[in-house]
Amino acid sequence: MKEYVSKRSRSQTSPNDIIRIAGMAKADKDSGNEVINASIGAFLDEEKKLGTIRIINETLKEHITDNLAYPSSLGNREYQEAVMDFVFAEKRKTIEENNQVFFGATLGGTGAISICFNLFVEENRRVILPNVMWTNYTLIASKAHIGYRTYTLLTEDGHFNIQSLKETIEEEIADCGRALVVINDPCQNPTGYCLEKAEYDSLFQMLNEESRKGYLSVIFDIAYFSFYPPSKGEFPLFGKLCENNTFLPLVVFSCSKVFSMYGLRCGALIALCPDETNRKEIHEAFLAQARGVYSVPVGSVLYAVSFALNDPSKKDELAEEIKETSSLLEKRSSVMISLLDQVQIRHYPYVGGFFITLITKNAFSLFERLKKKHIYTVPMDDNHLRLALSGLSIPDVNALVQELKKEIIEND
């Protein structure tokens, strides 16, 4: 057989690819079956309709065709201003005083991660990832022609494992003089874990120490930052970014989860550079990567989003709409955690966000058994099964845990 695809491109999505599994669930439902879909990270309300942010939707409808010209590869200035204000709020001024800020609009958070993997890791070297992670990180790494090594995400008593991360950074810097780390917080995908303030204090102390041994860049993937539980106070990362750090912080923002804009692919990469020379180097490298892959971001979407975010009269209503989504997720998680604990199904410490991850054996076999019952989950690896709270109604949660009890407790 003739083989037209080049050898370097003969990779496939993995069997646990989330979009692929979600497609299975949709096909099953379309064939007339009652389906419980705990696979995809998109927020559905209790009536199983895609959750939306009204203000964003209305602005998109009104302004999506206002500006169809080519934007800059970095995105338009209005979008930069809107996102910087939305993400950093009152911390923005201090962050900009202490850093030379680079901002580039991207095709969602995935696009920002991809650009980082290409810009900050040499070919055939490795990015440092958590051992329990959003599995697409590894595919993105392979497409950037890099490998990966992992640090242990949590200690045995359920806290962020700073020591494991420190040792992994030291090994990577010793190997090649530089390291790129991914920290997905808050509401980590797939566990729902959130770092405490004290953990951030220790983390930043360690990162600043390790950065003196080589070039250390750290991606803070904050795709779920708007769902940080209000009961825990202020999300501590932004306060730490106000300090003078010796490593390079790279903040990855996505409109997908926060604004329910999953298909419009809208995000940003924000680099907090130590000086203007580094900012310019990142600027040029980012432009070359963008121009060589997708040319420019989706300008009409950036323009419409900035229209909504830059309107002071809509700020409070926007915050309230996001809060309503968080509250419903909190209710679902409370029910699920309680039920899982009642039937003694092990799971990672959950604090907030879209996902809960079970600790089990033979996760791929469990996935197949549940699929036969029209229940769709995501096996992260042999020992971890991800459940997406985001797409489950409260009745779904109850039914799902009962089936999990049968398959995990009663059958194993």
pTM recorded for the entire structure: 0.94
Q: Which domains does the chain have, with CATH numbers?
A: 7-52+316-410 (3.90.1150.10), 57-313 (3.40.640.10)
Checking DSSP bridges between strand 147-151 and strand 178-184, what pairing results, if any? Answer: unpaired
Instruction: Tell me the pLDDT tens digit for each residue of 2-29.
Output: 787 777 777 766 667 788 888 898 898 8
pLDDT of residue 90: 95
Instruction: Tell me the pLDDT tens digit for each residue of 233-273.
Output: 899 999 999 999 999 999 999 999 988 888 889 999 999 99
Yes or no: say if 99 and 272 are a contact pair by the CB < 8 Å rule. Answer: yes
Give yes or no for residue 295 having a pLDDT over 80: yes
pLDDT of residue 44: 84
pLDDT of residue 41: 84
pLDDT of residue 319: 87
pLDDT of residue 55: 86
Q: HSE-up of 378 (CA within 13 Å, CB side)?
A: 30
SS3 content of the chain, % helix, strand, coil (to 5): 50, 15, 35
Q: Is the peptide bond before 186 cis (omega within 30 degrees of 0)?
A: yes
Average pLDDT over residues 172-193: 97
Yes or no: say if 116 and 93 are a contact pair by the CB < 8 Å rule. Answer: no
Yes or no: say if 218 and 250 are a contact pair by the CB < 8 Å rule. Answer: yes
pLDDT of residue 342: 95
Return d(Cα 373, Cα 65) in angstroms, integer.
44
Three state DSSP letters for 328-364 = HHHHHHHHHHHHHHHCCCCECCCCCCCEEEEECCCHH
DSSP 159: S
Where is average pLDDT lowest: 44-53, 138-147, 301-310, 330-339? 44-53
DSSP 44: B
Residue 154 in tokens:
């949590």
DSSP 177: S
Yes or no: say if 195 and 203 are a contact pair by the CB < 8 Å rule. Answer: yes
Residue 368 in tokens:
């197949």
Alpha carbon 301 to its chain centroid, in Å, reads 20
DSSP 126: E
Instruction: Tell me the pLDDT tens digit for each residue of 82-125.
Output: 999 999 999 999 999 999 999 999 999 999 999 999 999 999 99
Comparing C-alpha atoms, which of 143, 146, 115 is closest to residue 288?
115
Yes or no: say if 106 and 84 are a contact pair by the CB < 8 Å rule. Answer: no
Average pLDDT, the chain: 92
Give yes or no for residue 309 having a pLDDT over 70: yes
Question: How does residue 411 score in pLDDT terms, banded at 50, 70 and 90?
Answer: low
pLDDT of residue 42: 86
Yes or no: say if 370 and 245 are a contact pair by the CB < 8 Å rule. Answer: no
pLDDT of residue 15: 67
Instruction: Tell me the pLDDT tens digit for each residue of 367-385.
Output: 999 999 999 999 998 999 9
